Amino acid sequence: MPSTSFPAPSKFPLGPPAAVCGSGETLGPAPPSGGTMKSAEEEHYSYASPGVRSTLLPSSAQPSLPAPGHDLQTSAPGVPATAASQPPGYGGAVDSGPSSYFLSSGHARPNGAPALESPRIEITSYMGLHHGNNQFFHDVEVDDVLPGSKRPPSTATLNLPNLEAYRDPSCLSPASSLSSRSCNSEASSYESNFSYPYASPQTSPWQSPCVSPKTTDPEEGFPRGLGVCGLLGSPRHSPSTSPRTSVTEESWLGTRTSRPSSPCNKRKYGLNGQQLTSPHHSPTPSPRGSPRVSVTDDTWLGNSTQYTSSAIVAAINALSTDGSLELDGVPVKARKTALDHCPSVALKVEPAGEDLGTTPPTAEFLPEEFPSFQHVRKGAFCDQYLSVPQHPYQWARPRSPTAYGSPTLPALDWQLPSRSGPYELRIEVQPKPHHRAHYETEGSRGAVKASAGGHPSVQLHGYLENEPLTLQLFIGTADDRLLRPHAFYQVHRITGKTVSTTSHEAILSNTKVLEIPLLPENNMRAIVDCAGILKLRNSDIELRKGETDIGRKNTRVRLVFRVHIPQPSGRMLSLQVASNPIECSQRSAQELPLVEKQSAASCPVLGGKKMVLSGHNFLQDSKVIFVEKAPDGHHIWEMEAKMDRELCQPNSLVVEIPPFRNQRITSPVQVSFYVCNGKRKRSQCQRFTYLPANGAVRNNRMVLSPKARARCGH
DNA sequence: TGAGGAACATAC
DNA sequence: GTATGTTCCTCA
């Protein structure tokens, strides 16, 4: 395979490659790592065109490169050490400070080099990303089309509204609910977008070279690089390209069929792989074989006019083609398991190079301007294949950032600043430190809540425009490494009467992203009451190709919020902020709180002082109880300390030390305290010493000064 | 639907 | 054997 003819690294003078727009502007932060990243970065920048989803395939081109992973520190051959060692993100920001991430609206591939040849087909999610009425985005997208190429996004997403129709119900737990099975839920985008390594050309050396490779999903080039899933390729995608279809189908239908250790078959499901007959098994492509197509239409029908009918047909063809060959060489067990996870198939169709110049005009991607397209899609296309319920938007959603095509937006594992220039994205209300995530086999456990009741809220400060924006939310890691999408958790869209915030799901490189409107009338503030957390089985994720993280004990997450602010220059400013860590496992939440450190071993004997306790398993509603017992064990007093909730953070409590209550004690006064979670969980008592401030010890008794006495109520 | 709890399964 | 993960039961 030819290697990528990207701009030389010299284009990125500030260490990590900085974003470069078509005009040569140096943009935002550099990607987190090198290696496969390199190509991705370059691709990303050099090709970053909202309207064009380039799909360079570093992996396929360089099979030897390490599979995408999470190790952001990993560098790869050929990549400057700096690129790999520096934290992603702040490298080359220009306008808004070092940390801002800008995207130019006009990035066309600088050298006009053709996209990297690659034997993969990927249908990337794009659907529903173009709905907006945000002219800002609109313009950007138009401008972003490669000059002369008029090339539409090379990838698209097809949402499957009702995955159940394609899955064996018997495989689902009775306890399951549609909403809980994120992968299969109405949030069809997840389904259609969620791709597994096996289906990801970039990680599938065995993929058929017959696929026309012209574009690459920059997203995939990043550490996680599993590829944006979704469906639909550009209208140019040759129906002959294909073969990914089967993969997708299999992964999709194979859900739960072969979970190695899953009790799915042992307990209730009683489903065997045989039962799940993938449409692709049929030698003959059939409408049924491409349910994903309809999937894409799901909630985005109203907005998905970006696709031309030809594109859709191409996608269908691709999907309906048996691509089993691509799975050859992949252990059935692993394959199925992994695929199982992502019922939805995300195919990325890579248009042939020649397509670049023949791609339909950008206008195709502007639904508002081409209502006829919608008609064609819904009626002529979707209806013919799948009965897809119309899913009108509930809100005049601004064009989703993803509508630009991920190539133009920073990858989810890029580190972005929370503020830049006049803008600041801030979490006004933090989520509770514990939220039990639900499995696909369970019903939803509801939305993440705030400690003091209510829900987390996020606000964009400094934005004075009247155009609404979209707030993106995904589940990120909470370990010591750089923030990145969490492999074992996905955000779960909550809907229902109790949810006041509308939202939409999108998939970016295997990560589900919830998109929430940020409206000027709400002061660009969003109350996030629509986000739950879905736990994916460790066994499923760990079998993913390229996955390096392990799920065991990896149960802490953060809510990551992003907003992309169009700039007058046409570029995009991206901000990001992550919440405090959230413990998602049931067991951890039940563990005893443990005080590891306290701010002072000795504290004033009188009240009014505060003490900081840090440890584990503290809850926002944890209580700190002070106890004093006489040497003979006699309980002298016990009282709950007042908490300074404003200063409390996860696993860090700030308490006000209660006033001294008993004068008949010896000095130094030994007092114990424990942290109590709920009714039963309490830490071991931990001692500290009161110093006789404002008092003195005489004859084994505390003698308080009049002032101290008054303060203590004595 | 949203939780809480716990039984059962698996990893270490 | 213990710790942790996953599924199921139950209830408000």
Computed on alpha carbons and rounded to an integer, the radius of gyration of chain A in Å comes to 27
Question: Which nucleotide across the nucleic acid strands is nearest to A495, CA versus C1'?
Answer: B1
Residues with CB under 7 A from strand B: A 175, 177-179, 261-263, 266, 436, 442-447, 449, 494, 496, 498-499, 532, 539, 550, 552, 586, 590, 678
State pLDDT tens for residues A649-669. 766 778 777 665 554 444 455
A489 CB below 7 A from strand C atoms = no
> What are A688's two structure tokens?
């500290």
Q: Indicate yes or no: strand C within 7 A of the C-beta of A670.
A: no
Identify which of A655, A683, A660, A682 has the alpha carbon closest to the alpha carbon of residue A671.
Answer: A660
DSSP codes, A385-453: H--------SS-PPPPGGGG-GGGS--TTS---SEETTEEEEEEEPBPSB---EETTS-------BTTS
**Bases of chain B with protein Cβ within 7 A:** 1-6, 8-12
- Quick one: pLDDT at residue A578? 96
Strand C close to A260 by CB, under 7 A = no
Question: How much is the average pLDDT of A349-377?
Answer: 29
The residue lying closest to nucleotide B8, measuring its CA against C1', is A263
Residue A206: pLDDT over 80: no
Decide which of A590 and A460 is more confident.
Answer: A460
Provide mean pLDDT across the span A697-712.
54
Residues paired with residue A458 on neighbouring β-strands, in sequence order: A427, A526
- In angstroms, rounded to a whole number, what is the distance separating the alpha carbons of residues A482 and A476? 10
| Ramachandran bin of A510, using left for φ above 0, alpha for ψ from -120 to 50, beta for the remaining angles | left
Least confident of A268-282, A599-613, A630-644, A646-660: A268-282
More confident residue, A516 or A671: A516
**Residue A534 dihedral angles phi and psi, to the nearest 5°:** -105, 135
**What is residue A634's predicted lDDT score, i.e. its pLDDT?**
62
Distance in Å, residue A553 CA to nucleotide B8 C1': 19
Percentage above 70 pLDDT, chain A: 29
- Only one residue has tokens 């520096």, namely A86
> Which amino acid is residue A647, in one-letter code?
L
Single-letter residue type at A445: R
Residue with minimal CA–C1' distance to B9 is A263
Q: Does strand C come within 7 Å of the CB of A324? A: no
Nucleotides of C under 7 A from a protein CB: 4-10
Domains of chain A from N-terminus onward: 419-586 (2.60.40.340), 592-691 (2.60.40.10)
Per-residue flag: A644 CB under 7 A of strand C = no
Alpha-carbon distance values, A133 to A208, A301, A393, A402 (Å): 39, 15, 12, 14
Residues A503-558 have pLDDT tens digits of: 999 998 889 999 999 999 999 999 999 999 999 999 999 888 888 888 888 999 99
Q: How confident is the model at residue A610 (pLDDT cuts 50, 70, 90)?
A: confident
- The answer to whether A173 and A537 have CB atoms below 8 angstroms apart is no
Categorize the per-residue pLDDT at A462 as very low, low, confident or very high, splitting at 50, 70 and 90.
very high
pLDDT > 90: what percent of chain A? Answer: 18
| Of residues A72, A77, A143, A68, the one with CA closest to residue A108 | A143
Residues A412-417 have a mean pLDDT of 93
pLDDT at position A675 is 72
Q: Is strand C within 7 Å of residue A656 (CB)? A: no
Q: Which residue is nearest to nucleotide C8 (CA to C1')?
A: A175
pLDDT score recorded for residue A678 = 54
Question: Nearest residue to B2 (CA, C1')?
Answer: A445
Greater pLDDT, A677 or A140: A677
| pLDDT of res. A586 | 86
Lookup: nucleotide whose C1' is closest to A538 CA: C5
Per-residue model confidence (pLDDT) at position A611:
78
| Residues 6+ positions from A433 with CB-CB distance below 8 Å | A451, A580, A581, A582, A583, A618, A619, A620, A650, A651
- Cα–Cα dist A73/A87, whole Å: 8
Question: Helices A244-253 & A309-320, crossing angle to 10 degrees?
Answer: 70
Please name the residues in contact with A7: beta carbons below 8 A apart, sequence gap of 6 or more: A20, A42, A45, A46, A110, A111
